[in-house]
Amino acid sequence: MSEQLYNLEQLESIGDAEFVKRMITIFVKEASGATEKLLQAYKTDDFATIKYVAHRIRPSLNNLGIPKMKEVTIEMEDIASQNTKNARLEELINNFNDVVTRVVADLKAKYSME
């Protein structure tokens, strides 16, 4: 059995189906951009952008019920504050990219999005 990557219960508890779809659409757009920005920022030693993106995406991760990635973004932000590349930061960014890419693909398929 594969692990559940996200949980929409929180969104569903505060809004109707249209609201949920709107929030998912926003997440898909934000998350796709976030993964690209994180990867690019790491390549160019732009630690300020890593901290900003990790911090900025966190509320969306909460809304979509992706608690593991919330912890990853907190650690990313902490490590990026040191303004130096290290293997752990690269690992966190790659893990974030992998999970978010899978979540986005699944959401797009379930909600018939392009």
Residue 63 belongs to domain spanning = 9-107
Does residue 24 lie in a domain region? yes
Does residue 22 lie in a domain region? yes
Give the CATH number, domain containing residue 85: 1.20.120
Does residue 88 lie in a domain region? yes
Does residue 72 lie in a domain region? yes
Given this model, what pLDDT does residue 1 score? 39
Structural domain total, the chain:
1
Does residue 112 lie in a domain region? no
Burial of 94 (0-12, 13-18, 19+ CB in 10 A): middle
Cα–Cα dist 91/23, whole Å: 28
Does residue 2 lie in a domain region? no
Averaged pLDDT, groups of 10, the chain, 114 residues long: 81 94 94 95 97 95 91 96 95 96 94 80
Given this model, what pLDDT does residue 112 score? 84
Does residue 114 lie in a domain region? no
Does residue 99 lie in a domain region? yes
| pTM higher than 0.75 | yes
Contact 89, 50 (CB under 8 A): yes
